[in-house]
Amino acid sequence: MKKWNGCSLLNHNTFGIEAKARLFVEYGSVEELQNFVRSDQSDSKMLHIGQGSNLLFTQDFDGIVFHCNMTGTILEREDENSAILKVGAGMPWDDFVAFCVDHGYYGLENLSQIPGEVGASAVQNIGAYGAEVKKFIESVEVVNLFTGELEIKHNVDCGYAYRYSNFKGPWRGKYAVTHVWFSLDKTFRPNTNYAAVRNIVEEMGADAVSASVIRQKIIDIRKEKLPDPNVLGNAGSFFMNPIVEKETFLELQKKYPDIPYYEVATGIKIPAGWLIEKCGWKGRHLGRAGIYEKQALVIVNLGGATGNEIVTLSHKVSQDVYEKFGISIKPEVNWI
């Protein structure tokens, strides 16, 4: 276990925001975390982070920030159709996806190149290009940050929904994710819910396309649309795509015939990036925070921005979208 007092969090969040933690703790085993939690830390605020790719620090954190340094992948069991992999929460997410593609475990290809770590994927229910990770999570191992007890949360217990889990709701701040079990297919079946993937499958033929081809296609799309956080600080998609009732959508469609949409079980999903762009925000900025010129869904740190500057910009964008469309857009990023 490693500990740092007054640790800078600049390199622990992809927005590139300067903030400090009173204590930063990096653990390499479940037992290390349990022993630390069971020491006298009852008066401390606690926060568990991965790569900080979904965090916005608006102030210093007067408490303990934990980070998991467990990165191993273990084949727990398998049959002729599927495999169960146990993965350390500290493993970079895209490294895990690459491992799966290379070793013949399929289903995560459309989630390639998403920043962050495996533990955060189970908290956030990451999704992109027609896939969500909740479909592949079997269970989640956690340590209770108040008691040190080790618990297993099964998929059905986690309350997974669009960009949501109970770890972001009633369990917020209570647990540290230490391992995640994934159930993956051993036969490749391309997920063609996203048009660009569907097109490449149609062009090459379902029998010719491979998981590595789909993975590379997703990587190329993300590199084209999204800024590299090492160059321009950002947390990827800042806002969630709103879901509205069908009646509300039909009224909007009368006024905006070109409005893009996706039918989902709970209503009609409208791309937040389209709403923001129609409000004229794409490529604009307020001070040192701006909307990315290639993707209106992304807020970027143009250099030296504070968390509060980014919050101010997000509020202004949300307000303009509501005034123009009557739709509330909510942040996907967690504010600290």
Tell me which residues are annotated as active site: 163, 237, 332
Neighbours of 231 (CB within 10 A): 9
C-alpha 176/C-alpha 67 separation (Å) is 9
Structure tokens at 182: 């994934």
The helix/strand count (H/E) of the chain reads as 8, 20
β-bridge mates for residue 164, sequence order: 161
Please report how the helices 211-225 and 195-204 are oriented relative to each other, as an axis angle in degrees rounded to 10.
140
Structure tokens at 227: 């800024």
C-alpha 23/C-alpha 63 separation (Å) is 6
C-alpha 81/C-alpha 105 separation (Å) is 10
Among candidate residues 293, 171, 177, the one with its CA nearest the CA of residue 232: 293
**Which residue reads 């993965």 in tokens?**
87
Give the CA angle between residues 157, 160, 166 to the nearest 5°. Answer: 65
Please classify residue 320 by burial: count the beta carbons closer than 10 Å to its beta carbon, then call 0-12 exposed, 13-18 middle and 19+ buried.
middle
